[in-house]
Amino acid sequence: MSEFPQGFAHFPLYFSPAEQQTLISAVKAGVAQAPFYQPTMPRTGTPLSVVMSNFGELGWVTDKDKGYRYEAVHPKNGKPWPVMPEILLKLWDEVSAYPAPPEACLINWYHKEKTSMGMHVDLDEHELRAPVVSVSLGDPAMFRIGGPKRGGPTQGIKLYSGDVVVLAGKARLCYHGVSKIFFGESALVPRGGRINLTMRRVNEVG
């Protein structure tokens, strides 16, 4: 375990099955207002394998023309993102050790068998001292985390529904991604797959 970067924390089954249902209900309500859309890579326009939506004042979006950024409205319908569910604000208070609430919660839906997330560092936030707090729902996933440089050795950790991961301290600037979804193992997500909720603070406090 000591090989995980400083500031990495994994809380297995942080949320009970009943709480996971609450979270899924919140996602269903959220995406009724802000539907999942297909994000694309900057410049190339290559689709990501996940589909996305957001909760919160700001949502993380990406497309061919404008690239990675935060926006206050949905890229397709132009409406504000749905408010952050209480249960997520409570989680942030419990695990973030940061003095202000998260402004954004990205909803990633790994909706097909072959979905994954390439190794990356979350760097589109102005406030990099705040942690990234993420929740796994539905099918398990192989999460990988390496160091601050691209291409270095990585470690895998299997994340299950209800698990919470915190990337704080040095881990906040470490490469990470999802190499595999164990598709079809959980019945929690209505149309199958895995949902990952990632909360972030975008702007510095004050």
Nearer to ligand SIN, 8 or 99 (CB): 8
Integer Cα distance of 203 and 184 in angstroms: 37
186 binds, among ligand SIN, Fe ion, none (CB under 5 to 8 A by kind): none
Smallest gap from Cβ 17 to Fe ion, in A, equals 26
Report which residue's Cβ sits closest to ligand SIN.
196
Contact 55, 82 (CB under 8 A): yes
> Between residue 78 and residue 137, which ones bind Fe ion under the rule CB under 5 A?
122
> Between residue 47 and residue 76, which ones bind Fe ion under the rule CB under 5 A?
none
The string over 101-140, giving b where at least 16 C-beta atoms fall within 10 Å of a residue's C-beta and e elsewhere, is bbbbbbbbbbbeeebbbebebbebbeebebbbbbbbbbbb
Nearer to ligand SIN, 81 or 99 (CB): 81
Nearer to ligand SIN, 54 or 196 (CB): 196
Contact footprint for ligand SIN (CB under 6 A): 108, 117, 134, 141, 143, 176, 178, 196, 198
> What distances in angstroms separate CA 56 from CA 35, 82, 96, 179, 201, one per listed residue?
14, 6, 17, 27, 10
Report the SS3 class of residue 27.
helix
Smallest gap from Cβ 206 to ligand SIN, in A, equals 27
Nearer to ligand SIN, 39 or 85 (CB): 39
Provide the residue count of the chain. 206
Integer Cα distance of 165 and 67 in angstroms: 26
Smallest gap from Cβ 25 to Fe ion, in A, equals 25
Given the rule CB under 5 A, which residues bind Fe ion? 122
